[in-house]
Amino acid sequence: MKKALKELKKKISKIKKPKKVTDKVWEEFLGKATVVLMAGGESSRFSEVTKGEAVNKNAFCLPNGDSMIEMTIRMYREAGFDDFVALVYHNAKSIENILGDGSKLGVNIRYSYDPEMPVGKGGAIKNAILNGSIKSDRYIIIHNPDDVIVDFAGNFPRHIIHGHHETMNKKGLATVVVVEETPYTFTGMKIKDNRVEQIEMYPQIPIPTHIGVTILSPQAYPFFDKYFDLTKKSDFESVLFPILSRKGLLGAVSIPANCWIAVNNAKSYKELLKRLKE
């Protein structure tokens, strides 16, 4: 089975490590970039952890007194970013109560509320562009705080910007951050003529998976005006990514699979606590 999976990876995943940008290019990018924190979701699957508490899961207090959204902000702040926008809706006050204007974290934070109803990630970004929370001339790094980056060997923000710089050099407008393989959540089997020949527990499936982090150049913003509206809920990944991909405008940069935890239920929450403790 492992041999077959290796052959599959060769066919569908060829991602090169991006070349490093110069300090000058990096500093120029920092001066024109905003980190967008996606923090408006209801997170119903996480309710078994919050146990009815009126709190957005990104602001949920971890045993060490931290929260996922604060962890995310500090990661980017330590790389040099100081401009942030939080896109909020469900239990938005819990986000504002711990972040405020960002001064206690040494950054600037603005808030963009979904208009009267949840409009999904795509609508939330369009709304933030329209209300000026996302400036029309700035690059944005869109990060779901519950997609937690742990134990990354190096500077994660700088690494993904290296990848976006290569995307721009190829005339692309957006870069998705991926892991090149993810664990299959069930027992995997190799079967021939109805006979099980091999069993492997939770095999790594070599299909690149988006980890909830995306970099957009300002030239991508007209796509939100054209393909999204504020009367229905839509996620930009399912709408925008296929369009950009068909036009050859979507790039990718990868990180090791063990550096990403998608914290969306009690099981992944326990994994996060374990990794933080370690």
Asked whether residue 2 is domain-assigned, the answer is no
Residue-number span of the structural domain to which 259 is assigned: 21-178+209-277
Residues 247, 273: Cα–Cα separation, whole Å: 41
Least Cα distance to 275 among 127, 172, 148 occurs for 148
Asked whether residue 200 is domain-assigned, the answer is no
| pLDDT higher than 80, residue 167 | yes
Asked whether residue 256 is domain-assigned, the answer is yes
Cβ-Cβ contacts under 8 Å for 149 (sequence gap 6 or more): 72, 75, 156, 255, 259, 260
Question: Dihedral (C-alpha) 122, 126, 128, 134: value to the nearest 10 degrees?
Answer: 100
Residues 177, 214: Cα–Cα separation, whole Å: 6
Rounded to an integer, the average pLDDT of 187-194 is 92
CATH at residue 160: 3.90.550.10
Asked whether residue 6 is domain-assigned, the answer is no
Asked whether residue 103 is domain-assigned, the answer is yes
Asked whether residue 82 is domain-assigned, the answer is yes
Q: What is the pTM of this model?
A: 0.94
In the chain, % of residues over pLDDT 70 = 100
pLDDT of residue 210: 96
pLDDT digit string, tens, across residues 97-136: 999 999 999 999 999 999 888 899 999 999 999 999 999 9
**What is the count of structural domains for the chain?**
1
In the chain, % of residues over pLDDT 90 = 79
Assigned token pair, 193: 């003529």
Cβ-Cβ contacts under 8 Å for 247 (sequence gap 6 or more): none
pLDDT digit string, tens, across residues 217-256: 999 999 999 999 999 888 889 999 999 999 999 999 999 9
Backbone angles phi, psi at 87, to 5 degrees: -95, 115
Asked whether residue 187 is domain-assigned, the answer is no
Asked whether residue 221 is domain-assigned, the answer is yes
Cα–Cα–Cα angle for 172, 175, 178, rounded to 5 degrees: 145
Residues 154, 164: Cα–Cα separation, whole Å: 17
Cβ-Cβ contacts under 8 Å for 252 (sequence gap 6 or more): 15, 163, 175, 176, 177, 178, 208
Confidence of residue 96 (pLDDT cuts 50, 70, 90): very high
DSSP assignment string, the chain: -HHHHHHHHHHH---PPPPPPPHHHHHHHHTTEEEEEEE----GGGHHHHTT-S--GGGPPPTTS--HHHHHHHHHHHTT--EEEEEE-TTHHHHHHHHTTSGGGTSEEEEEE-SSS--HHHHHHHHHHHTTSS-TTSEEEEE-TTEEE-S-SS-HHHHHHHHHHHHHHTT--EEEEEES-EE-SSEEEEEETTEEEEEEESPEE---EEEEEEEE-GGGHHHHHHH--TTS---HHHHHHHHHHHTT-EEEEEE-GGGEEE--SHHHHHHHHHHHH-
